[in-house]
Amino acid sequence: MSWDIFVQDLPPEARSVKDVPDEFHPHPLGRREDVIGRIRSVFPDADFEDPSWGRLQKDGYSIDISIGDLEEVGGVTLHVRGSDDAVGAVVKLIEAIGGRAVDSWTGELFDQAIALHSIRRWRAYLEEI
């Protein structure tokens, strides 16, 4: 189980997920090798031995990076586990990948100001189960 962040092309004018029109069709984020290159520009140690599923392992947290098998990347999912330090890495990854993100714990557009609350909710949930 992880705190998941979904990155894709979303309308820049959307302030909330409900502001994304039903008929909106996101553009690809780019070719897989380009997306991996952008990720490695901020985290050169990201492991992409499997180009469809990367891994970023740091002291205190890890992030699995699901890119998929298609040459044109429609979206990227970040599967985050660990400490609050992961939030800064998530912000850097979203910026490097391009597009905007949805926070699985709020169901809303990723907001750096409340991301710490989200990851802490995820950890509290893990402790409960």
Structure tokens at 32: 């897989």
When the candidates are 1.10.1790, 3.30.1460, 3.30.310, 3.30.750, the CATH number that belongs to 3-128 is: 3.30.310
What 3-state class would DSSP assign to 59? coil
- Please tell me the distance from the alpha carbon of residue 9 to that of residue 24, in angstroms, as a whole number: 10
Q: Taking a C-beta distance cutoff of 8 angstroms, is the pair 110, 101 a contact? A: yes
Query: Backbone dihedral region of 66: left (phi > 0), alpha (psi from -120 to 50 degrees) or beta?
Result: beta
- Residue 89, pLDDT > 90, answer yes
pLDDT digits (tens, 9 = 90+) for 11-44: 988 888 989 999 999 999 999 999 999 999 999 9
Among 14-18, 52-56, 62-66, 73-77, the minimum mean pLDDT is found in 14-18
Name the nearest CA neighbour of 102 among 34, 33, 26, 40: 26
* H or E stretch at 33: helix 32-42
Q: In this structure, what are the phi and psi dihedrals at residue 8, rounded to the nearest 5 degrees?
A: -160, 175
Question: 0.85 cut: is pTM over it?
Answer: yes
The ranges assigned to domains in the chain are 3-128
pLDDT digits (tens, 9 = 90+) for 93-107: 999 999 999 999 999
